[in-house]
Structure 1
Amino acid sequence: MALLFRAFYATSYSGYIRKTSKGVPTNAVYGFIQYFFDAISTFNPTHVICCWDMGSSTFRNETYSLYKQNRIEAPLELLPQFNLVKEVVAEMGVPNIGLVGYEADDCIGTLANKLQSDSEVYILTGDHDMLQLITEQVKIVIMNKGRSNYTVYDLETLYTTKQLTPLQVIDMKAFMGDTADNYPGVKGIGEKTALKLLTEYKSVEGCLESLELLPASVKKKIQDNLDMLHLSRDLARIRLDVPVECALNDCLWALRHEAAARKFEELEFGGLVKVLAEVVNG
């Protein structure tokens, strides 16, 4: 979803939105496919899965009614592209995974957790929340601005760049909250204080066990917002036990060239038909 939204806004900011001759908007799908093939050529995966949000209502909204309530509605031109992009992905031979009531992040976390025992997993995203999923076998590929601009995070990179372990990524959100997802964390504690607490006391539990050692102002903030601290941590934690399945055999990357080419021609993606030929020919 992050890639699809990025593709939409990257190509619509000028006011022009790519459409078919029948008036179907396709700019987000076109851009997504460009990102997709760029990542394929960069990382050369043996298997590929795409995970999607399946509506705005999830268990997190039920837990905290204000969760993501600050988000603006998706632009009208993007709405039909949510299903269209899944059609295109399926025609290429890639499984679409999503489950109502959960976010794509939870599906990604669950599948990465399952598949890491048999393979090395790379998660391509624009979302730094995913850094909590890093293990010895799971790496996070963050898409930076521009094409072919990636940062690959493993355990070492995460620690050297952010001074955090994967579990501490969750605890940072517990203290700081997340303005994008609209939950507050501990009011008055920002990134600098949160990082200092986790560096010294390692975790939320470590901080709570050492409350008497904290500066009086920080101690009071935590005590006054204890329920929200725990709630924010729960909202930030990506689930690893979503009831979704995708075995390695089901996601082998083998581009269905003819089916994809037909779909691209239907959507008037002339330039991408040429890209398909390049992918097939190596």
Structure 2
Amino acid sequence: MPWRICYTRGSSAEPWNPGETGRQGEKQEVTANEQRQSVMLVDGMALLFRAYFATASSGYIRRTKAGVPTNAIYGFIRYFWDAVQTFNPTHVVCCWDLGGGTFRGQQFAAYKCNRPDAPDDLIPQFSMIRDVMDSLGVPNISAEGYEADDCIGTLADQFGREMDVMVLSGDNDLLQLVSDRTTVIIMKKGHGNYMVYTPESLYEEKQLRPRQIIDVKALMGDTSDNYPGVKGIGEKTAIKLVQEYESVEGILENLDQLSKSVRAKIEADLDMLHLSRKLAEIHCCVPVACSLDVCQLSLDHHQVISKFEELEMKSLCSLMGLAIG
């Protein structure tokens, strides 16, 4: 099974990442010389929405004295810093969706059309959290016409030539990026609870290789992203087919080996099968780049404290071991 890491701030648990580091509050500046280099690619939208609904669902929206909502920002930083302390990257990049159309929407007009509009209290926090990440020295990366997943995939490919890559998200779609150099960290319910996927642990849990995640989604579709796959084929059947025949191509080459029912469903939906596969695949050739010196994690204490004070979040200074005064 993938590692389940329950990390509680203030506990005696050691960080997961190799290399020696100080405990909370003892060391805030991380340099490449102190540990094996690694980069954490953060799925910004996944963290922000998780942080917003973690409190909004209970009816509580944190606000400044002026009434500006900040609950998503506050929760985001708590999630983000917990992951940094747990996995100890030397470099960090945050990737975002820009909003508006993407190439997937051009390929399939109904793509993600089932999603409701963002809550009013969340909308102003989209730009505010980017400012906060700027104050932490973390670059914000996005690309017009592409999703954050595509930016993450592209950067994982680029950085993976030089160092270990960690992808932080709550989205299982990103499991297709798992490789010998790229680990995908899926945030689970609760604070400090992660599932960490390597090629070996992914196969142990699902009996699938990373690229086969795409083929499974091509068959079963994705209700969250609103594309159907092959009508009548669910997750269990999709996984079984991919496990047995390796890929969509392998399945199509062996249609005569399938049951009449499954074969009929696939033959009736061939076009959607191929389209769903295109929609499911993360593109790793997006026109984005980020140099190592720009994304090295090194906090400017004064800048961070100033931003948290501006947003009336002084408690985050304590969380991150930053002395005020």
TM-score (norm 1): 0.97
* Residue 105 in structure 1 maps to residue 149 in structure 2: yes
Deviations 1:232-279 (A, max 9, x none): 000000000000001222210111211111000000002102123259
* Residue 170 in structure 1 maps to residue 214 in structure 2: yes
Q: What letter corresponds to residue 235 of structure 2 in structure 1?
A: E
* Residue 121 in structure 1 maps to residue 165 in structure 2: yes
- The SS at the match of 1:151 is strand
Q: Distance in 2 between matches of 1:170 and 1:68?
A: 17
Q: What letter corresponds to residue 107 of structure 1 in structure 2?
A: C
Which runs of 5 or more residues in structure 2 are unaligned?
1-44
Which among 235, 238, 260 is matched to residue 194 of structure 1? 238
Which residue matches 2:248?
Answer: 204
Q: Distance in 2 between matches of 1:218 and 1:277?
A: 58
Q: Distance in 1 between matches of 2:260 and 2:300?
A: 62
* Residue 44 in structure 1 maps to residue 88 in structure 2: yes
Equivalent residues of 1:257, 1:276 under 8 A apart: no
Of all paired residues, the percent bearing the same amino acid is 57
Which among 144, 149, 169 is matched to residue 188 of structure 2? 144
Deviations 1:96-116 (A, max 9, x none): 000121100000000001110
Which among 89, 104, 117 is matched to residue 73 of structure 1? 117
Deviations 1:146-200 (A, max 9, x none): 1110110000010000111011000000000000000000001111111111111
Q: What letter corresponds to residue 231 of structure 1 in structure 2?
A: L
Q: Distance in 1 between matches of 2:192 and 2:320?
A: 18
Which protein is richer in helix relative to its size?
Answer: 1
Which among 135, 138, 143 is matched to residue 91 of structure 1? 135
- The SS at the match of 1:75 is coil
Q: Which has the higher contact order (CA 8 A, sep 6+)?
A: 2
TM-score (norm 2): 0.85
Equivalent residues of 1:261, 1:276 under 8 A apart: no
